[in-house]
Amino acid sequence: MTRIDEVWISDPATQKVCAALTDAGAQALFVGGCVRNALLGAPVSDIDIATDARPEQVMELSQAAALKAVPTGIDHGTITVVSGGIAHEITTFRRDVETDGRRAVVAFSDRVEEDAARRDFTMNAIYAQPDGSVLDPLNGLPDLQARHVRFIGTAANRIREDYLRSLRYFRFHAWYGDSKAGFDPDALAAIAENLEGLAGLSRERVGAEMLKLLGAPDPAPSVAAMRQAGVLAQVLPGAEDRALAPLIALEEQAGAEPEPIRRLAAIAPPEIAKTLRLSKAQLQRLTRMRDEASGTATVAELGFRYGEEGGLHETLLRCAFLEQPWSEDLRHALRAGAEADFPIKATDLIPDFTGPALGKKLAELEARWIKSGFALTREDLLGH
Ligand code: ATP
Ligand code: MG
C-alpha cells in the first residue's frame, strides 16, 4: 500500500489535531495539495484535512483538546485549527447542491466518495489517513504518477460548475503536469468551448490564480495553451505572451528564481495587469520593471538604482523583449552598479546650492557620474 512518510505528517502537533477528531470516532483525512505534493516529493505548504464531523463538532472537539479553533469559512464548513503554530484547515465532507459557475451551495456529507467527486482533478482527490496510508477513491494515484492533470468526471460539466477550474487546470499543469506529454486535447477542447463564464469570475480570484500559475518553474507552455484556447484573451484582454518563453530561458541561464510579477510584466503592461487587482506594491514593481525594460538606463545603472537582484528583473525583461541573449557581462555590470557609491553628498554643495536647485545639481552630477561608468571622483565632479 502507498504510504506517506514525511515529517509533517508525524509532527505531534498535527497528530494531535487528527486525534481530536478520531478519538471521538470521526474521520480525519489529509487531502489536496499536502497529499499530492508529499507523494511527488514536492514541498508541502498548507495542510488540509477532510472530516465527516460537522463544523460545530470540529469546533467543540478542538476546543476540548485545548486547540485554538477559528471558524474561517464556516459557510463552507471550514474550521482552522492551530496546533504547534501550524494552521490546519479542517473541512467537513461536502457535496455540491447547486452551482452557478462561480460559487456553490454545498451540503455536508458523511461519505468521502462524495467529497472526492466534487473536487477538481483526480490528483487533488487523494486522501491519507493520520498514519499516512493512502485512500484513493477516484484512482488519482496513476494519474499523479503519470503527471496527468485529469478533470474528475466530464470536463465540460465540471467547468460549467466553476469556471475557475479552467484556470486551475493550467496552473496545475504548469506545476505538476508532464510537460513532454503536453495538454490533454479533450480537456483543452472543453475549456475552449466554455469561455463565456470566465468573465463572471471575480478579478481577485483570477489574479490570485494567474500569479500562482506564473510562479511555476516554467509557466510558458501553459500560458501559450491558454492563449490558443482563447482563455488568455478572456481573462487578460490585450496580454501578449511572445516574450514569456524567452524570459524563462533567460532566467534559467542567469540562475534567477521564478518571480510571478516579472513574468506578468512580460505578458501585460500595467494598464492591463492592474485589472487583476494586484496590490499597490505589486503594481508598482510591475510598472517599474516594464518602464526600465523599455527605458534607456544602462544595466550598471539598473544595478546602482535597484541592487544586483533588483536590477536583474529589468535586465532579464529587457533581454526578453529585445530577443537578446544572456551574458555574464550583464551580471558583472549589475554588480558593479550595485557596489558603486556616489561620492557626492548634499553638504558638498551647500551653500552654493539650496532648495530645488540643490536637488537638480545632485541629479545632474549623479547622471554624469553614472555616464562615466562610476569613474569620476568627488574632485572631478566638484571641480567641474
Ligand atoms: P496548493 O495549496 O499547493 O496550491 P491545493 O491542491 O491544496 O494546492 P487549494 O486551492 O488549496 O489547492 O485547494 C485545496 C483542494 O480543494 C484542492 O486540492 C482540490 O481538491 C479542492 N479544490 C480547490 N478549489 C477547487 C475548485 N475550484 N473546484 C473543485 N475543487 C477544488
Ligand atoms: Mg492548498
Which of 48, 113, 123, 171 maximizes ligand 1 atoms within 8 Å of its Cβ, making it the mutation to test the pocket?
A: 48
What does the pLDDT look like over 112-134, one tens digit per residue?
999 999 999 999 999 999 999 99
| Mean pLDDT, residues 285-305 taken together | 96
Mean pLDDT of the chain: 96
Ligand 1 centroid to Cα of residue 32, in Å, is 6
What does the pLDDT look like over 299-324, one tens digit per residue?
999 999 999 999 999 999 999 999 99
What does the pLDDT look like over 240-265, one tens digit per residue?
999 999 999 999 999 999 999 999 99
Q: What percent of the chain has pLDDT over 90?
A: 94
Burial class (CB in 10 A: 0-12, 13-18, 19+), 167: buried
Q: Which residue has the cell 503594481?
A: 283
Ligand 2 centroid to Cα of residue 205, in Å, is 15
With residues binned 3-state (H G I as helix, E B as strand, rest as coil), the percentages for the chain, rounded to 5, are 55, 10, 30
Ligand 1 centroid to Cα of residue 266, in Å, is 27
Ligand 2 centroid to Cα of residue 125, in Å, is 12
State residue 384's pLDDT score: 57
Lowest mean pLDDT among 147-161, 247-261, 363-377: 363-377
Which band of pLDDT confidence, cut at 50, 70 and 90, is reported for residue 193? very high
What does the pLDDT look like over 37-96, one tens digit per residue?
999 999 999 999 999 999 999 999 999 999 999 999 888 899 999 999 999 999 999 999
Query: Roughly how many angstroms between the first and final C-alpha of the chain, as a whole number?
Result: 80
**What is the position in ligand 1's atom list of the atom closest to the CA of 36?**
6
State residue 289's pLDDT score: 97
State residue 346's pLDDT score: 92
| Mean pLDDT, residues 272-286 taken together | 97
State residue 311's pLDDT score: 97
Q: Which ligand is nearest to the CA of 172?
A: 1
Ligand 1 centroid to Cα of residue 205, in Å, is 13
Q: Which ligand is nearest to the CA of 102?
A: 1
| Mean pLDDT, residues 180-198 taken together | 96
Cis status of the peptide bond prior to 351, with omega within 30 of 0: yes
Q: Which ligand is nearest to the CA of 168?
A: 1
Which band of pLDDT confidence, cut at 50, 70 and 90, is reported for residue 1? low
**What is the position in ligand 1's atom list of the atom closest to the CA of 44?**
3
**CB-based contacts of 15, cutoff 8 Å, min separation 6:** 130
Q: Which residues line ligand 1 (CB under 6 A)?
A: 32-33, 45-46, 48, 119-120, 124-125, 162, 164-165, 168
| Mean pLDDT, residues 9-24 taken together | 98
- In whole angstroms, give the CA distance from residue 81 to residue 204: 26
**pLDDT greater than 70 at residue 269:** yes
What does the pLDDT look like over 157-170, one tens digit per residue?
999 999 999 999 99
- In whole angstroms, give the CA distance from residue 20 to residue 18: 5
Which of 119, 136, 209 maximizes ligand 1 atoms within 8 Å of its Cβ, making it the mutation to test the pocket?
A: 119
Ligand 1 centroid to Cα of residue 206, in Å, is 14
Which band of pLDDT confidence, cut at 50, 70 and 90, is reported for residue 383? confident
